[in-house]
Copies of this chain bind each other. A is one copy, B any other.
Amino acid sequence: MRHLIDFGDLTRAEWDSLYQRCSDIMDHPADFMDACRGRVMASLFYEPSTRTNFSFQTAMLRVGGTVFGFADPKSTSTAKGETLKDTIKMVSGYADVVVMRNPKEGAAKAASLYSDVPVINAGDGGHMHPTQTTADLTTITRLRGGVDGLSVGLCGDLKNGRTVHSLIKALAKFKGIKFFLIAPRELAVPEYMRAFMRENDMWFTEVTGLEAVIPQLDVLYMTRIQRERFVDPLEYERCKGIYVLTRRKLDRARKDLLVMHPLPRVDEISIDVDDDPRAVYFDQARYGMYARMALLTDLANQERKKPDPVEIGTKPVCSNPNCITQTELYLPPLVKQNGGVDCCAYCDKELR
């Protein structure tokens, strides 16, 4: 692996190998204290995301590397008036690995075309956030010994949740997963995700209530329901309590359930759940740091390499207004196939 743009870029074998290194780091952190000694990570956050930013920074520091970058483009001169290409050429001249968060979909893919060093996608708009998925899988694997065969409840806004969609796709690499998709009808999982699960022979059921299914779960992945996602505010008021996890609802759950959340939470998990041993969402953040340590020991130690020249584009690849090709017109007009359909190779939107 040269870059990590999308978790789907990893084969199952690559994931297993990444997790193995992560596990070694957790068991013997002192052995990895100098794994990235002399290596420098660029941390380019074109929008604030303190949690992800801190996780990457501490990951790099804990394997002996160092960090520079910006946490918010408002305090930089680079972000304005310079193409993404030129910024990446400059930064990849200084750094051994580039971590980038960007509000535009496909920005990390675009950066990878010009970078002399590996690029890690730390979130590109509503598109991908692969290291959140590595954090999630690391947590499950570490605490349950493996992922195969688990019953996973996904609860909350399953329509808009990037995290949830990535997790479903990632779990396609494993066997015997059963999904319990728990959401209000307005925020049910999109049809293309259903198609994905069917294509991959994944078992799933959709329900609107949490309480009925909670006893069957090995993992309960909570996400936030935002009021503004509802067309009908009365519908929001009617159903919000249903998707709040309380200590009482946990009474009927298994003793070895894992309650997970990508954080930050608002009120979808009651504070009295925090002291329950099944509440692992704060540990999950820490496992995310270990997963990033494993990733960086690989990617920050690769050879510098000038990428091959690419075609110079002149117009956006697709019509998605949030696609990076809308603003960086010189990007090459790359197309890829997703399930036999032509899609933008940056933002994955279907081309018409």
Q: Which A residues form the contact surface with B (CB < 8 A)?
A: 29-30, 33, 37-38, 40, 42, 48-51, 54-55, 57-58, 61-62, 66-72, 74-79, 81-82, 85-86, 89-91, 93-95, 263-266, 271-272, 274-275, 282-283, 285-286, 289, 309, 312, 330
Cα distance A51–B87 in the bound complex, in angstroms: 9
Inter-subunit contact B89/A58 (CB<8 Å): no
Residue contacts A-B, CB under 8 angstroms, 28 given = A29-B38, A30-B38, A42-B54, A48-B75, A48-B76, A50-B77, A51-B77, A51-B78, A51-B90, A54-B94, A57-B68, A58-B68, A58-B95, A61-B66, A66-B66, A70-B71, A71-B76, A72-B76, A74-B75, A78-B264, A82-B264, A85-B271, A86-B263, A89-B274, A90-B263, A93-B282, A94-B286, A94-B289
Kindly list the 5 A-B residue pairs having the minimum CB-CB distance in the complex, ordered from nearest.
A50-B78, A93-B286, A58-B94, A275-B309, A72-B75
A-B contact sample (11 more), CB < 8 A, given A54-B69, A66-B66, A90-B263? A38-B62, A42-B54, A54-B68, A58-B95, A61-B68, A70-B71, A72-B76, A85-B271, A86-B263, A86-B264, A90-B285
Cα distance A272–B75 in the bound complex, in angstroms: 30
Q: A338 to nearest B CB, angstroms?
A: 29
Inter-subunit contact A271/B62 (CB<8 Å): no
Q: A103 to nearest B CB, angstroms?
A: 12
Inter-subunit contact B50/A265 (CB<8 Å): no
Contacts of A61 in B (CB 8 A): 40, 66, 68
Contacts of A312 in B (CB 8 A): 271-272
The residue in chain B whose Cβ has the minimal distance to the Cβ of A79 is B50
The residue in chain B whose Cβ has the minimal distance to the Cβ of A56 is B68
The residue in chain B whose Cβ has the minimal distance to the Cβ of A61 is B66
Q: A34 to nearest B CB, angstroms?
A: 9
Cα distance A30–B312 in the bound complex, in angstroms: 37
